[in-house]
Copies of this chain bind each other. A is one copy, B any other.
Amino acid sequence: MGAREPDDGIRLTDDERLDWLRLIRSENVGPRTFRALVDHCGSAQAALSALPNLARRGGASGSARICSRAEAEREIKAARSLGVSFVALGETGYPSRLAMIDDAPPLIAVRGNLATLARPMVAVVGARNASAAGIKLAERLARDLGEAGLAVVSGLARGIDAAAHRASLKTGTIAVLAGGHDQIYPPENAGLAGAILAEGAALSEMPLGWEPRARDFPRRNRLISGLAVGIVVIEAALRSGSLITTRLALEQGREVFAVPGSPLDPRAEGSNGLLKQGATLVTEAEDVLAVLRPILGQALEQRFEEPGIAPPPPTMAEPGLDERSRIVELLGPTPVGIDDLVRLSGNPPAVVRTVLLELELAGRLQRHAGGLVSRA
């Protein structure tokens, strides 16, 4: 799974796809662990076999739950009946910008007009309790951005999100869900979600049946910004979800745009704050397009390249007890770089990576952006 030639998207077999689904649905396996496991073991299948042993060595008290073959088969079958399919990271059809983020989901469940996922996208997000003016601006911007050829990504929330989707139904819009495809939230937007599928698509990394909890929204937000070239924020209050999405967008190197508002309007505090920090001021779609055009021009030249899932290391690094405890000692609540752990522990990188993987599977490690890790 090294770097590939353009257009050389991999294509998983049904069995491979089943293994990928089982692995990502297993306990303590997130997108980064998935990647580390496949790096370490060589394939999802090999990783599934190695999981119990790795987790035990990492100090798991019980045995970490592995998604069974039957469970995964049931999910794939249920998905198919809903018109939901799974696209794997590295396959043609996986959105190219999303593939480049640190913690790209190994599998995305998608539904609707999947061609939309190949188009350049712009995210339009904002307050749920939007003002009439905010709604109008979201509609105007989403419509004009859509007519300019961009697919509009948003989170299907009340307020700005829904307005952005609605105004770009005809040109193609993408709803990123925080729960499963059969658990549309908020329920009042189920009709809108259905309408989106005609020209656009819905996307989720969560299992069918998953009812979104509060903590699933920030996690979902990284996909909204990850899919898009840039993100337009309308009416974001301080400490709002839109600002979280913006932070993620900045980490992902996405362009950030904000619509200004009166300093007396609390719904504009977040967006005005973004403008102070250097976001591009937007009053009309052209302000966004002027920034995105050169980037998209370039992007059209870029071809798909699978993000760095390295080939498995030649030898399996088996850390000894001392090495493991030294690395565990070095870990604290403050995120540190893996390079630092290598340097400070005096162990080879492969050993450090293996120990971290084991700890992660045992639920004792947390991974952060930028390759940092901390004790969970």
A 165-181 binary contact with B (CB < 8 Å = 1; else 0): 00000000000000000
- Residues in A260-302 with C-beta less than 8 Å from chain B: 260-265, 268-269, 272, 275-276, 281-284, 287
B259, B260, B265: the one contacting A281 at CB < 8 Å is B260
In the complex, the count of this chain's copies comes to 2
Q: Does A321 contact B (CB under 8 A)?
A: no
- Bound Cα distance from A275 to B284, whole angstroms: 14
Q: Cβ of B260 and Cβ of A263 under 8 Å apart?
A: yes
Of all chain B residues, the one with the shortest Cβ separation from A283 is B263
Q: Does A137 contact B (CB under 8 A)?
A: yes
Q: Does A128 contact B (CB under 8 A)?
A: no
Q: How close is A138's CB to chain B, nearest CB, in angstroms?
A: 11
Enumerate chain B residues within 8 angstroms of A282, measured Cβ to Cβ: 263
Q: Does A158 contact B (CB under 8 A)?
A: no
Q: Cβ of A137 and Cβ of B264 under 8 Å apart?
A: yes
Q: How close is A205's CB to chain B, nearest CB, in angstroms?
A: 34
A 214-245 binary contact with B (CB < 8 Å = 1; else 0): 00000000000000000000000000000000
Interface residue count on the A side (C-beta < 8 Å):
20
Q: Does A136 contact B (CB under 8 A)?
A: yes
Q: Does A70 contact B (CB under 8 A)?
A: no
Enumerate chain B residues within 8 angstroms of A133, measured Cβ to Cβ: 262, 264
Of all chain B residues, the one with the shortest Cβ separation from A141 is B263
- Bound Cα distance from A112 to B276, whole angstroms: 38
Enumerate chain B residues within 8 angstroms of A265, measured Cβ to Cβ: 262
- Bound Cα distance from A262 to B265, whole angstroms: 10
- Bound Cα distance from A268 to B284, whole angstroms: 13
Other than A260-B263, A276-B283, give 18 A-B pairs with Cβ distance below 8 A: A133-B262, A133-B264, A136-B264, A137-B262, A137-B263, A259-B263, A260-B260, A260-B268, A260-B272, A260-B275, A260-B281, A262-B262, A262-B268, A263-B282, A272-B281, A275-B275, A276-B281, A281-B281
A-B residue pairs, 9 tightest by C-beta: A260-B260, A263-B283, A133-B264, A275-B281, A272-B283, A276-B281, A261-B262, A133-B262, A260-B272
